[in-house]
């Protein structure tokens, strides 16, 4: 038996999470992840007007409501049998893409960075762990200043979301059949002006700082590998038929690439506080029957699996599957000729790590921010982006999207024009899941195994692994 370390609550995340690790000879040998909140969205959604789902499900996560809106309106599109017109598709891309621009910045600076950068000596920056802060005083001060600057960028980025989303957080501008706004030239130029400042910060501050921290904590490219299986639903359709996505759809399992087969997604509950009869179902058939205190269970999060195997979702998964050319910062960091194209997979095994996730997130942020400009040019000012359709008497469907923190899928069944069944698999259902019916650990649990913990009183690396997933 090793020494047990309980971290409850894990702060600087969205929601309520507890992590318990067992440490032996300075390394983590076992880990348990506990989702500590149940609200019952799927139960509340039942018998309501299907269109209300795109409002209700946004309240699952106030950091990524737009992503749930996106998954939900796509679900309704499929059940209502409607395809948004071009402006609707492009506006949805822009509204969601705007969230990527500020959310990745928020995650790095305000949620993750305090595990590497020593904040000022006042609350909320103290108390904190003692020890492994490696930046020299001057660099550390620069990073603290960036923390404050990033707060402004976050608010500015949310202005981008609101331009056609209506407001942020929680948007009104995405509905079944498309997006509600009719963009004007004035709005487009207002968006451009704001986006310029946000993109400048991402390219010239956020991205280089991630590599700078990566340089100071090089060993963390070898910590937190996890299950090394990745899943991406694909996001930001580039044409109306959805033949291509900016961030691709696909699965990477045991070192091989596969196309996504939605039927292979199942949720298991033997270690979750839900009725065992609901285990092993595809969400189209899924149910939510909570049983707090169930014997042998330790989490309100179900264990989402693909082909019965744990898969990581999020920026690393998307970037690994998409494998785009990275910024020139990557060339500089790797000491490679700038004329050469460096792709995500050129990082090799180093990508499967704490720092690999931060690099993937920052590079993805830059990639999406650049695309925002192209999408603006695709908008037709003065043209509607929505097709209004009545609620069907019956129907079913699902909608897949990607939140900044990972894959989000919704499934619906409609009877008598009401919601008969609604199921959600959020990103954290993949990443922070507990063991499944076969006893396989979830991705965060798996990533914690082997993590060096030189000082159990200040288990820096444990929280670094957890936060690298942006749970």
Partner 1 sequence: MKITRRNFLKVCGGTAAACGLSNLGIPNVVQALEKALAGNPPVIWLQGSGCTGCSVSLLNSVEPDIAAVLLKIISLKFHSTVMAAQGELAMDKMYKVAEDYAGKFYLVVEGSIPTRERGRFCMVGERQGREITMLDATIEIGKKAAATLAFGTCASFGGIPAAKPNPTGAKPVTAIFKENGIKTPVVNVPGCPPHPDWMVGTIAYALTKGLPPVDEYKRPSLFFGSTIHDNCPYRKYYEEGKFAGSYGEEGCRLKLGCKGPETYADCWQRQWNNKVNWCVRNAICIGCVQPNFWDEMAPLYEQTTG
Site for partner 1 in 40-79 (CB under 8 A): 40-41, 43-44, 48-49, 51-52, 55-56, 59-63, 65
Task: Decide: is 124 part of the binding site for partner 1 (CB under 8 A).
Answer: yes
The helix or strand, by DSSP H or E, that contains position 375, with its residue range, turns out to be helix 354-378
- Residues 291-310 close enough to bind partner 1 by CB under 8 A: 292-293, 300
- Residues 149-178 close enough to bind partner 1 by CB under 8 A: 151-152, 154-155, 158-159, 161-170, 172-173, 175
CA dihedral 386, 96, 371, 231 (to 10 degrees): -110
Task: Decide: is 463 part of the binding site for partner 1 (CB under 8 A).
Answer: yes
Return d(Cα 129, Cα 12) in angstroms, integer: 14
- Residues 213-272 close enough to bind partner 1 by CB under 8 A: none
Task: Decide: is 11 part of the binding site for partner 1 (CB under 8 A).
Answer: yes
* Chain centroid offset of residue 79 CA: 25
Task: Decide: is 340 part of the binding site for partner 1 (CB under 8 A).
Answer: no
Return d(Cα 344, Cα 358) in angstroms, integer: 12
Three-class DSSP category at 422: strand
> In this structure, how many other beta carbons lie within 10 angstroms of the beta carbon of residue 185?
10
The helix or strand, by DSSP H or E, that contains position 87, with its residue range, turns out to be helix 86-106
Q: Tell the smallest beta-carbon distance from residue 230 to partner 1 (Å).
A: 26
Which residues is 281 bridged to in the sheet? 267
Question: At 41, phi and psi to the nearest 5?
Answer: -55, -45
Residue placing its CB nearer to partner 1 in the complex, 230 or 273: 273
User: Which range, of 4-12, 24-32, 232-240, 318-326, touches partner 1 by CB under 8 A?
Assistant: 4-12
Q: Tell the smallest beta-carbon distance from residue 225 to partner 1 (Å).
A: 23
**Helix locations, 202-297, DSSP H:** 207-216
Residue placing its CB nearer to partner 1 in the complex, 321 or 465: 465
Task: Decide: is 140 part of the binding site for partner 1 (CB under 8 A).
Answer: no
Residue placing its CB nearer to partner 1 in the complex, 11 or 204: 11
Q: Contact with partner 1 (CB under 8 A): which of 128, 134, 307, 370? A: 128
Residue placing its CB nearer to partner 1 in the complex, 16 or 343: 16
Q: Tell the smallest beta-carbon distance from residue 440 to partner 1 (Å).
A: 25
Q: Which is nearest to 310 in space by CA: 424, 225, 405?
A: 225
The owner of tokens 């037709």 is: 380
First to last CA, the chain: 28
Q: Contact with partner 1 (CB under 8 A): which of 111, 135, 365, 408? A: 111
Residue placing its CB nearer to partner 1 in the complex, 24 or 152: 152
Handedness of CA 250, 253, 258, 259 (dihedral sign): negative
The count of residues interacting with partner 1 (CB under 8 A) is 78
The owner of tokens 């509340």 is: 44
Return d(Cα 72, Cα 95) in angstroms, integer: 14
The helix or strand, by DSSP H or E, that contains position 395, with its residue range, turns out to be strand 395-403
Q: Tell the smallest beta-carbon distance from residue 355 to partner 1 (Å).
A: 20
- Residues 368-427 close enough to bind partner 1 by CB under 8 A: 384, 386, 388
Return d(Cα 433, Cα 436) in angstroms, integer: 8
Q: Tell the smallest beta-carbon distance from residue 127 to partner 1 (Å).
A: 5
Residue placing its CB nearer to partner 1 in the complex, 53 or 220: 53
Q: Contact with partner 1 (CB under 8 A): which of 27, 83, 86, 110? A: 110
Q: Contact with partner 1 (CB under 8 A): which of 120, 196, 308, 373? A: 120
Task: Decide: is 36 part of the binding site for partner 1 (CB under 8 A).
Answer: yes
Task: Decide: is 180 part of the binding site for partner 1 (CB under 8 A).
Answer: yes
The owner of tokens 């082997």 is: 450
């Amino acid at each position: 038996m090793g020494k047990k370390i309980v971290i409850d609550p894990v702060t600087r995340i969205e929601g309520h999470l507890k992590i318990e690790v067992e440490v032996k000879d300075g390394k983590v040998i076992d880990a348990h992840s506990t989702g500590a909140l149940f609200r019952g969205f799927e139960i509340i959604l039942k018998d309501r007007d299907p269109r209300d789902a795109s409002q209700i499900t946004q309240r699952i996560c106030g950091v990524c409501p737009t992503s749930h809106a996106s998954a939900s309106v796509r679900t309704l599109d499929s059940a209502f049998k409607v395809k948004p017109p071009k402006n609707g598709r492009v506006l949805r891309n822009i509204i969601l893409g705007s969230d990527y621009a500020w959310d990745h910045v928020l995650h790095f600076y305000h949620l993750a960075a305090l595990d590497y950068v020593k904040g000022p000596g006042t609350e909320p920056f103290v108390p904190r762990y003692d020890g492994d802060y490696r930046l020299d005083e001057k660099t550390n001060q620069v990073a603290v200043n960036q923390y404050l600057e990033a707060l402004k960028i976050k608010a500015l980025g949310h202005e981008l979301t609101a331009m056609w989303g209506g407001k942020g957080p929680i948007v009104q501008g995405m509905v079944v059949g498309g997006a509600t706004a009719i963009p004007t030239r004035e709005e487009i130029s207002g968006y451009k002006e704001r986006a310029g400042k946000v993109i400048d910060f991402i390219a010239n501050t956020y991205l280089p700082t991630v590599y700078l921290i990566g340089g100071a904590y090089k060993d963390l490219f070898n910590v937190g590998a996890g299950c090394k299986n990745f899943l991406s639903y694909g996001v930001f359709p580039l044409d109306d038929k959805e033949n291509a996505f900016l961030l691709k759809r696909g699965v990477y399992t045991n070192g091989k690439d596969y196309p996504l087969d939605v039927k292979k997604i199942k949720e298991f509950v033997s270690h979750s506080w839900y009725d065992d009869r609901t285990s092993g179902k595809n969400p189209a058939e899924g149910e939510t029957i909570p049983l707090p205190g169930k014997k042998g269970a330790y989490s309100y999060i179900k264990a989402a699996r693909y082909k019965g195997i744990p898969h990581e979702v999020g920026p690393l998964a998307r970037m690994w599957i998409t494998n785009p050319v990275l910024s020139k910062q990557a060339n500089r960091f790797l000491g490679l000729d700038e004329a050469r194209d460096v792709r995500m997979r050129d990082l090799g095994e180093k990508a499967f790590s704490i720092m690999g996730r931060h690099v993937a997130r920052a590079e993805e942020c830059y990639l999406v921010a650049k695309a925002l400009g192209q999408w603006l040019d695709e908008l037709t000012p003065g043209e509607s982006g929505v097709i209004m359709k009545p609620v069907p008497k019956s129907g079913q469907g699902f909608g897949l999207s990607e939140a900044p923190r990972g894959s989000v899928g919704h499934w619906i069944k409609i009877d008598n024009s009401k919601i008969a069944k609604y199921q959600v698999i959020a990103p954290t259902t993949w990443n922070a899941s507990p063991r499944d019916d076969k006893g396989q650990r979830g991705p965060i649990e798996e990533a914690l195994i082997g993590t060096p913990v030189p000082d159990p009183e200040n288990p820096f690396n444990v929280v670094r692994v957890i936060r690298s997933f942006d749970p």
